[in-house]
Amino acid sequence: MTVLSNKRGVELEEPGPLDGRAPGAPAAPEPVAETARRSIGASVRAYVALTKPRVIELLLITTIPVMFLAQRGVPPLSTVLLTFSFGAMSAGAANAINCYIDRDIDVKMRRTRRRPLARAQVTPARALVFGITLALVSTAGFFLTVNPLSAAGSLFAILFYVFVYSLLLKRRTSQNVVWGGIAGCMPVLIGWTAITNSLAWTPFVLFGVVFLWTPPHTWTLAMRYREDYAVAKVPMLPVVATERRVITESLVYSYATVACSLALWPVAGMGPVYGAVAVVLGLVFLGEGHRLLKAVRAGVTGVHLRPMRFFHLSNVYLALLFTAVAVDPLLH
């Protein structure tokens, strides 16, 4: 401990470091156990990030409400938990394998450069094994605890996302998210088959809602990150087309989405609650699309168009619409 003197000659002691080391001495090594805990925690977070948890939220939004509709009431809790758990594994498997496939372009894009493979937090081989393992476990789990039809739907979604979207469409055509979005629609069918062990027109109408909703939802996000996709040479529509064309096509798909949502009313025999919610949400959704079209026609471009406002609204639209799908059967 160093001794100092003040102006009056009184000796003062300079406090040393909290760990008792002398000033300038090297830091004591961190305990091995603490280092191991941090390493394990970082690894767990990296593997969880490979599954893209925020993307899996779509599973919750679309799967469980359809189960309420299929049951025409509250579905068995055990079936809901099993379907959601293995469904989350299935989506996580597809996302992890997608991270493996896209590791070369993820490092080039601001939006994705913090993903585990881009930051070398997980090796490509381990990421691939992790994804395949999740795929096998989720498919077997559905088959053994839910039913074979749901297992087939889950496996189809994984294979379609990996081979059709990630490997075939994503880097080759601006229609990548149109047809690649089929994989994201499968939770609707899986939720229905988990309850009924069969298929009907009702889940296919809801499948259509998600299918038609996906392009405008994704394209407005891609407008925000257009430069990223251009650098990575991914031909998203905003990269290869004018903003006016992107917004016009998005509005067309938005109208189709609202029309399909209204078609569920007679097809599934929905009550007035769903009908009212679908109409109001549809008007708000289309209103935002027309705002974008009006702005681009007036010469507004780039961030001043505020495409992310439409993107966030589209999330709210889908969440509230499917909430109405779940609530309506409980009220009549």
Domain range annotation of the chain? 43-198, 200-332
Tens-place pLDDT, residues 59-70: 789 999 999 999
Residue of 302 and 170 predicted with greater confidence: 170
Tens-place pLDDT, residues 142-155: 999 999 999 999 99
pLDDT band with cut points at 50, 70 and 90 for residue 4: very low
- DSSP state string for 35-93: HHHHHHHHHHHHHHHHT-HHHHHHHHHHHHHHHHHHHTSPPPHHHHHHHHHHHHHHHHH
> Pick from 243, 219, 248, 224: which is nearest to 314 by CA?
219
How many other C-beta atoms are found inside a 10 Å radius of the C-beta of residue 92? Answer: 25
Q: What number of CA atoms fall less than 13 Å from residue 36's CA on the CB side?
A: 3
- Helix, strand, or coil (residue 24): coil
CA distance 140 to 152: 10
**For residue 326, what are the CA distances in angstroms to 76, 200, 319, 330?**
14, 17, 11, 7
- Note the CATH number of domain 200-332: 1.20.120.1780
Matching fold, domains 43-198 and 200-332 = no
How many other C-beta atoms are found inside a 10 Å radius of the C-beta of residue 82? Answer: 18
Residue showing tokens 């949400």: 281
CATH superfamily placement of domain 43-198: UbiA prenyltransferase (1.10.357.140)
Is-above-0.75 flag for pTM? yes
Tens-place pLDDT, residues 241-259: 999 999 999 999 999 999 9
Check residue 7 and give its pLDDT.
38
Check residue 40 and give its pLDDT.
86
